[in-house]
Amino acid sequence: MLDHELIDLVGAAHSIVVLSGAGVSAESGIPTFRDALTGLWARFNPEELATPQAFSKDPRLVSRWYDERRCNVLKCRPNAGHFVLAQLEKAFQEKNRPFTLITQNVDRLHQAAGSQNVIELHGNLFTWRCVDCGKERDENGLAFDEHPPRCECGGLRRPGVVWFGEALPGEALLKAQRASGRCALFMSLGTSSVVYPAAALVDLALQNGAKVLEINPEQTPLSRRAHWSLRGKCGKTLPDLISRAGN
Ligand code: BV8
Ligand code: ZN
């Protein structure tokens, strides 16, 4: 049951920050990070494969995992949760109020749904770069025929994601921190809230007196700190909330 104070706040907030996690893409058919390891990959822990060490040790295995995820995402479409966030951004732009969408996701489905300003904290599956010369190229086609793919200079190319132990893109993180520290409402959507420094953004919002909404079918470490923690799927709960708020 949606709370009237929350509905009023979503409609009237002077600024909103959204932090999205893999749960927002779950209803598009993309396995969440914790369950991204099925079949061939079942014997690995994601944190083991998503590291520079794993790539140096077995570049072929890591390249195949990321290329398989990239090809799977290319077959997926944004869901109602993605679309309603794109609409909310548009509604806030028209009211000249700040709306910031920060994502941990690497699938670019927010952009596919029409969100204009997306802060990608963890990179994405489509921009691959050469480990030697740094040359980047977007890959939106079929699976690579060699793993890892090679650069013209002969160097190995890696996925443009942020691995565990790697720093997040400085400018993206700074923008995310600034927006989080200024917003009136912080929405944590579909994230387990355990990966840092993304999971620390909500602290900046709370310190600044913002209200916090979480939407997740499961409890997370944020649940007891949020003003509202709705047990539900983003694809259903979010559109209900946004439509009730009149955005
Ligand atoms: C760094 C790209 C330092 C790769 C990813 C404190 C400070 C700084 C670092 C650390 C710290 N403590 C620990 C660390 C180290 C580490 C970390 O956080 N480890 C965790 C595991 C404890 N952090 C790092 O290494 C970061 N780097 O800080 O480096 C540094 C500084 C300077 C110089 C050098 C180094 C880098 C972190 C980024 C790692 N890369 N992704 C890839 O995708 O393969 S993170 C990865 O996890 C994904 O991006 C994913 O987004 C992210 C978080 O997961 P979630 O999005 O939350 O997804 P998850 O599966 O966990 O949960 C899904 C949720 O959805 C669930 O709660 C589920 O209930 C819910 N759900 C399911 N269905 C639905 C739903 N919700 C709504 N609707 C539904 N339908
Ligand atoms: Zn190169």
Say whether pLDDT at 19 is over 90.
yes
| Per-residue pLDDT, 33 | 79
pTM of the model: 0.96
Indicate the top mutation candidate among 33, 105, 216 to test ligand 1's pocket, ranked by most ligand atoms within 8 A of CB.
33
Looking at ligand 1, which residue's alpha carbon is closest to its atom 24? Answer: 164
pLDDT band (50, 70, 90) for residue 38: low
Ligand 1 atom closest to Cα of 34?
A: 60
Ligand 1 atom closest to Cα of 215?
A: 77
| Per-residue pLDDT, 58 | 96
Return the minimum-mean-pLDDT range out of 46-55, 105-114, 147-156, 158-167: 46-55
Percent pLDDT > 90 in the chain is 89
| Per-residue pLDDT, 174 | 98
| Per-residue pLDDT, 36 | 63
Tell me the pLDDT of the chain averaged across its residues: 95
Looking at ligand 1, which residue's alpha carbon is closest to its atom 41? Answer: 122
Is 122 annotated in the active site?
A: yes
Q: DSSP letter string over 61-125?
A: HHHHHHHHHHHHHHT----HHHHHHHHHHHHHHHTT--EEEEE--SS-HHHHTT-S-EEETTEEE
Say whether pLDDT at 161 is over 90.
yes
Rounded to an integer, the average pLDDT of 35-45 is 72
Rounded to an integer, the average pLDDT of 30-58 is 83
Indicate the top mutation candidate among 28, 32, 48, 61 to test ligand 1's pocket, ranked by most ligand atoms within 8 A of CB.
32
- Alpha helices by DSSP H, the chain: 4-12, 22-26, 46-49, 52-57, 59-74, 80-94, 109-112, 170-180, 201-207, 234-244
pLDDT tens-digit readout, 172-229:
999 999 999 999 999 999 999 999 999 999 999 999 999 999 999 999 999 999 999 9
Of 4, 122, 147, 227, which residue is the catalytic one?
A: 122
| Per-residue pLDDT, 48 | 86
